[in-house]
């Protein structure tokens, strides 16, 4: 490690992964530790906030120590601590925020609060140099957004979901098909084995709108399954999954391409847990192959929640002079634009 290297410890506990990572100069992963709680939440069919908090308490110290150990560094080597301040489950966020504050206070290390979505977008900086203007398609369990970035650290939400997030729709449809939680990967797998035989609706919304809506699609899938059952017919879950996925991917890809052209962006980056979706990745690759816009898709491990992405975003904010005070709190409903664009 050179003396002028910037070493940032990232901490993420907004939902059901306890994660800590060390990132060098905002770009290079030195260590990246994720303790997933999925197995504990599976039998409840979704994340139980109280169980999530308890797991974070049990894991946080172990995960941070492991991140330091794997990187071969101590707190004395860390230049800044970046932590997810929101949005997320308040009882989960608080564990990461308090751990970060305690370390920052005890070791006199600067603290930087990071918006979870800014983290997901900056996961792409761990793969390639970001080029502006940039458009990010953020698709996770809690968010579906098109975010325009004119430069580092500024975010403009040009479209967002009016109801369910894409991942939420995946998880709800999966539950109806009696697939385990989280359902996204299972639907994705089934979709590749099936054929899109059912013409499910696509919510394009008003002309020129980059907003999304997935609740109508989710209801259409549930109604179709229900009606078939009442008539004593059986639908192949593989075809239902393929048809559902075709509708989601069609809307996401069409709106992303339109926005990328309208705003004349140099780069389109994919972010969030649903970015792991093979159908979505493939469709985006095909579309952008013929356009003079670079498409960046992170590896699966950087699409789902992790702390390296928080450290990457935190590094940029730290270099821009952003600092959080020790009275920092967790903000479950934190807004991306108002939080990061303030001077």
Footprint of ligand KG4 (CB under 6 A):
15, 140-142, 167, 170-171, 182-185, 188, 272-274, 276-277, 304-305
182 binds, among Zn ion, ligand KG4, none (CB under 5 to 8 A by kind): ligand KG4
CB nearer to ligand KG4: give 24 or 120: 120
- Which one of 59, 140, 277, 306 is in contact with Zn ion (CB under 5 A)? 140
CA distances from 303 to 149, 272, 308 (A): 19, 5, 11
CB nearer to Zn ion: give 18 or 140: 140
Sheet with 28-36, strands from edge to edge, namely 28-36, 17-24, 7-12, 80-86, 111-115
CB nearer to ligand KG4: give 274 or 293: 274
CB nearer to ligand KG4: give 104 or 330: 330
Compute the least distance from the CB of residue 108 to ligand KG4, in Å.
Answer: 31
CB nearer to Zn ion: give 84 or 243: 84
DSSP-assigned states of every residue in 147-180: EEESSTT--EEEEEBSS--HHHHHHHHHHHTTPP
Q: Is 124 an interacting residue with respect to Zn ion (CB under 5 A)?
A: no
256 binds, among ligand KG4, Zn ion, none (CB under 5 to 8 A by kind): none
DSSP-assigned states of every residue in 80-115: EEEEEEESS-HHHHHHHHHHHHHHHHHHT--EEEEE
The dihedral sign for the CA sequence 103, 107, 108, 112: negative
Q: Which residues of 142-176 are buried (b: 16+ CB within 10 A; e: fewer)?
A: bbbbbbbbeebeebebbbbbebbbbbbbbbbbbbb
Q: Is 16 an interacting residue with respect to Zn ion (CB under 5 A)?
A: no
Q: Site map for Zn ion, 33-52, x if CB under 5 A? A: --------------------
171 binds, among ligand KG4, Zn ion, none (CB under 5 to 8 A by kind): ligand KG4
Site residues (vs Zn ion, CB under 5 A): 140, 305
């Amino acid at each position: 490690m050179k003396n002028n290297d910037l070493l940032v410890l990232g901490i993420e506990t907004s939902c059901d992964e306890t994660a800590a990572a060390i990132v060098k100069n905002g770009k290079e992963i030195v260590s990246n530790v994720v303790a997933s709680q999925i197995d504990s939440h599976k039998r409840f069919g979704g994340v139980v906030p109280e169980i999530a908090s308890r797991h974070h308490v049990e894991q946080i110290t172990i995960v941070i120590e492991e991140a330091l150990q794997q990187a071969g560094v101590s707190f004395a080597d860390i230049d800044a601590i970046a932590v997810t301040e929101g949005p997320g489950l308040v009882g989960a966020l608080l564990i990461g925020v308090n751990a970060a504050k305690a370390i920052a206070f005890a070791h006199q290390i600067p603290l930087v609060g990071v918006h979870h979505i800014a983290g997901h977008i900056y996961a792409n900086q761990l793969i390639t140099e970001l080029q502006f203007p940039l458009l990010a398609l953020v698709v996770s369990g809690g968010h579906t957004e098109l975010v325009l970035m004119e430069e580092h650290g500024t975010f403009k939400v040009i479209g967002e979901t009016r109801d369910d997030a894409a991942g939420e729709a995946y998880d709800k449809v999966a539950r109806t098909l009696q697939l385990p939680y989280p359902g996204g990967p299972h639907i994705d797998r089934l979709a590749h084995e099936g054929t899109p035989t059912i013409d499910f609706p696509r919510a394009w919304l008003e002309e020129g709108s980059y907003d999304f809506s997935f609740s109508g699609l989710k209801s259409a899938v549930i109604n179709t399954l229900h009606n078939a059952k009442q008539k004593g017919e059986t639908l192949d879950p593989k075809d239902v999954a393929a048809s559902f996925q075709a509708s989601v991917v069609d809307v996401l890809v069409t709106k992303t391409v339109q926005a990328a052209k309208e705003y004349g962006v140099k780069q389109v980056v994919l972010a969030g847990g649903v970015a792991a979706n093979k159908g979505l990745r493939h469709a985006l690759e095909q579309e952008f192959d013929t356009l003079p816009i670079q498409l960046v898709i992170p590896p699966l491990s950087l699409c789902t929640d992790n702390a390296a992405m928080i450290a990457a975003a935190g590094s940029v904010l730290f270099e821009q002079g952003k600092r959080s005070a020790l009275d920092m709190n967790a903000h479950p409903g934190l807004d991306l634009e108002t939080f990061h664009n303030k001077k």
